[in-house]
Amino acid sequence: MSEYERKRKNYIRSKSTQKIDSPQSNDELEETIDDKNPSMMIDNNILMTKTPQSLDDLLDVDDNNNENDEDKEENENHNNTNDDVDNDSTHLSIDDPTTTEQTRQKKSIEKNGPGVLDVPSPDVGLDVKFGFNDLCPVCGDKVSGFHYGLLTCESCKGFFKRTVQNKKNYQCIDKQQCQIDKTQRKRCAFCRFKKCLQVGMKLEAVRENRVRGGRNKFGPLYRRSRALRQQIMRQHFVSMVKAQQNMIPNGNGIDNGQTSLDMTGNGLQVKSEPEQPNLHPFQHMYSSLQTTTNINHSPHTHHPNNLPHHQQHHYQPQKSSSFPGVYQDFFNTNSSITNNTRLQQSFQLNPFDTYYKNSSASSTSYGHSPPSLLLPSNSNSNPASGSSNSSSSPVGQISSKLLDYQISSPSTTGTTTTVNTTNSTLNTSSILSTLTMQQHPMATNDSMHTDTNNGISSVYFYNNQYLATNYDMNDTNNIPETLTKLIESDQAYRCTEIRYIEDIQQIHIDLTRDDGDILVVCSLLDKLCFLMVDWARQSLYFKDIQIDNQIKLLKAAWIEILIIDLIWKQCQQPKETCVNCIVSANGQLLNINLIQNPAVKKLAERYLQCVNDFRQLQWQYPEYLALKYLVLFDPDVQGVTESSLIEEVQEKITNALGEYTTDHNNPSISNSTSRSPSQQQQAPTNEQEKFACILLKLPDVRLIGNDLKKFLQLIDRKHDGKLLDGCLLGEMLNGLQSNN
């Protein structure tokens, strides 16, 4: 019997001795509140007195039942209190879910009246407890609880503990890419441990002094993880309920706006077994989200230098360390645990580093001059091109021109806006601070139409790179309001962005150069940073956040947003036209076979794989936008003070994305006629999984972003920090440090 089952039985046993009508304890209530979005609580209260009018209503009912394991059962018991449900029925929910479900639905109808059906508890209807909610992200075995930062099985917990405590040094006899699952997890300890780290298990949670008992400092993070998990479960549940609606006879498969599940007279219809989803990806998504929220932005990052003093000796990845080998390899290859690359500079771990040590002669010259960058042809669009700038770095000097232009660009509104710097402790010498405090020149319709000869064609040309070829802007049917707003906000920005596009498009990258044309690449990235900040500071919701928090969010998310933008752009190109090529932001096709640095080439290959994965998902413009916002609005970013507001936005967008993917993933619903032939050939993704699959790509994006950052930092270091000195890219690369 697993620990989980034992606990479950113990729990049921303990419940059997409780009074049925015993009130919920304060602790339980606090935990319930703590794990939920406050808005959900309000909705739940409302739901107590009204008929659910939408799936969201139903969802919130589900949420009421959908606590973490014990909490969930707790709620079930309390929800059933009025029904005088005995403990046998609770027990039956394990052994005979069908019977229990029928009973539950009957009781639900009796309790709520006709037309109101409680959403089946995941425990009995969706088998969440034994589904994606309980699969170890490392091996897929059954989860036994939170261990070292995330939900894992007992064996991986033990394995992780043994490895860290005993300073194991594993080796992989293959290519360090072994499949880790329940049956094969013993085969390769190296890859198993690697996966443990990749999914987010925390080294620092293993106690150096081996003190038993007690709780650790991750409590709040664990709670947040639970909240995220519940959020995902809710979305998943919406997908299934909607899919199920479409399958119900006489349901017409059409959402006529009356989305409440009126099962009057046939309460068991909903019992028709929901299509059992492939649940495993959700577990990975969950762990990925944990990775997203807990690793890189967490104050408890894996990085050794962030560890408590008493644990530091565990993680000194220096050659003389008593803890060598495996950690060096993982710090080297697993960027998910090495966000703060600057702190790693004392040890050589990165393949980029090795390469550049071996090829220093080719990487130190600035001899190649990118004329389009250093001397923007359109001097009119750069009124401050001759401005003074203290930056002496090549990229910094280039950036200053765009920065000066942006700072000096007049507001088209003709009004003066006071920037909200309340409570701000900004370092106004920072480029990012300066940019975020700028009043944004809002778009006007004129900006699209005044220049008939150049403007519109450019706008269309440019927008065609960003707007989905398979997305009809006029088709706003079934688009959640939140996403509609995002789209409007994004479109407004695209009109202003045109000012910079020409400058970007003039860039030319020559990959055949010995140095990979790194200066030009950095310059392009630097400009993209400007555009990204420009985009963010006028974006919906982001404008409402204090500027110092805006800066922190941007510094945490910038590279992932850039990568998502690039991937999106590439996805808009027919696959056949860019085989083995990266579609650069300047429109250039970069053949990765021309990349000479093997590490960079490998990174490029991973990027293209990621692009391919997104292609297969057939993600659409609203989904792309939502993903960017989800990356940007990360409440776990270190030092952010408006976490609840940010989390609120995150949840809002998550819900909207879930709703949209459910409504638009069905090829018959989405605008399949406008898909490219290559897209039509792609097998449509299971509609119940698309939401998860999209979010599942975020860890990949993060890994690619982290490796890219490491690469850029190494390049900069190779040039004594002068390559990116004084430019926005350099500032972004320094991450949160400069802001703390």
Partner DNA sequence: GTAGCCTTGAAC
Partner DNA sequence: GTTCAAGGCTAC
Residues in contact with DNA by the rule CB under 7 A: 1-3, 5-6, 27, 30-31, 68, 70-71, 141, 145-149, 153-156, 158-159, 161-162, 165-166, 185-186, 189, 202, 205-207, 210-216, 218-220, 222
Spatial CA neighbour of 100 closest among 110, 111, 112, 87: 87
* Least CB distance to DNA at residue 236 (A): 22
Q: Are 708 and 558 in contact (CB under 8 A)?
A: no
Cβ closer to DNA: 24 or 246? 24
Q: Are 610 and 567 in contact (CB under 8 A)?
A: yes
Phi, psi of 181 (to 5 degrees): -140, -175
Spatial CA neighbour of 574 closest among 695, 652, 675: 675
The tokens for 640 are 């952010």
Provide the H-helix boundaries in 409-517. 431-437, 446-449, 455-466, 481-505
* Least CB distance to DNA at residue 139 (A): 8
Cβ closer to DNA: 2 or 245? 2
Rounded to whole angstroms, how far apart are CA atoms 402 and 384? 8
Beta bridge partners of 146: 151
Rounded to whole angstroms, how far apart are CA atoms 591 and 418? 46
* Least CB distance to DNA at residue 740 (A): 23
* Least CB distance to DNA at residue 731 (A): 34
* Least CB distance to DNA at residue 295 (A): 14
Please, which residues have CB within 8 angstroms of residue 377's CB and are 6 or more apart in sequence? 506
Classify residue 736 by burial, with Cβ atoms within 10 Å: 0-12, 13-18, 19+: middle
Q: C-alpha 544: how far from its chain's center? A: 21
* Least CB distance to DNA at residue 6 (A): 5
Rounded to whole angstroms, how far apart are CA atoms 462 and 444? 17
Cβ closer to DNA: 156 or 238? 156
Residue 589: other Cβ atoms inside 10 A: 14
* Least CB distance to DNA at residue 34 (A): 8
* Least CB distance to DNA at residue 330 (A): 16
Cβ closer to DNA: 161 or 675? 161
Measured distance between the N- and C-terminal CA atoms of the chain, rounded to whole angstroms: 49
Could you list the beta-strand ranges (E) of 584-666: 589-591
Spatial CA neighbour of 288 closest among 708, 736, 694, 705: 694
DSSP 590: E
Cβ closer to DNA: 145 or 324? 145
* Least CB distance to DNA at residue 640 (A): 19
Cβ closer to DNA: 5 or 481? 5
Rounded to whole angstroms, how far apart are CA atoms 628 and 531? 14
Rounded to whole angstroms, how far apart are CA atoms 280 and 464? 36
Cβ closer to DNA: 28 or 648? 28
Cβ closer to DNA: 65 or 550? 65
Q: Are 466 and 568 in contact (CB under 8 A)?
A: yes
3-state SS, residue 303: coil
* Least CB distance to DNA at residue 578 (A): 43
* Least CB distance to DNA at residue 188 (A): 9
Rounded to whole angstroms, how far apart are CA atoms 671 and 469? 10
Beta bridge partners of 264: none
Cβ closer to DNA: 149 or 705? 149
* Least CB distance to DNA at residue 173 (A): 14
* Least CB distance to DNA at residue 298 (A): 13
Cβ closer to DNA: 315 or 500? 315
* Least CB distance to DNA at residue 68 (A): 7
Classify residue 420 by burial, with Cβ atoms within 10 Å: 0-12, 13-18, 19+: middle
Rounded to whole angstroms, how far apart are CA atoms 634 and 616? 26
* Least CB distance to DNA at residue 229 (A): 12
Cβ closer to DNA: 191 or 509? 191
Rounded to whole angstroms, how far apart are CA atoms 40 and 63? 8
Q: Are 237 and 229 in contact (CB under 8 A)?
A: no
Cβ closer to DNA: 180 or 590? 180
Cβ closer to DNA: 135 or 156? 156
Provide the H-helix boundaries in 113-218. 154-165, 189-199
Q: Are 29 and 67 in contact (CB under 8 A)?
A: no
Spatial CA neighbour of 481 closest among 66, 59, 54, 58: 54
C-alpha distance from residue 37 to each of 151, 646, 661 (Å): 21, 12, 22
Cβ closer to DNA: 162 or 543? 162
Q: Can you spell out the DSSP letters for 547-575? A: HHHHHHHHHHHHHHHHHHHHHHHHHTS-G
Rounded to whole angstroms, how far apart are CA atoms 257 and 228? 28
Q: Are 276 and 688 in contact (CB under 8 A)?
A: no
Cβ closer to DNA: 26 or 477? 26
Cβ closer to DNA: 71 or 510? 71
* Least CB distance to DNA at residue 288 (A): 19
Cβ closer to DNA: 9 or 368? 9
Q: Can you spell out the DSSP letters for 102-114? A: HHHHHHHHHHH-T
Cβ closer to DNA: 322 or 358? 322
545 φ/ψ sector (left φ>0, alpha ψ -120 to 50, else beta)? beta
Classify residue 320 by burial, with Cβ atoms within 10 Å: 0-12, 13-18, 19+: exposed
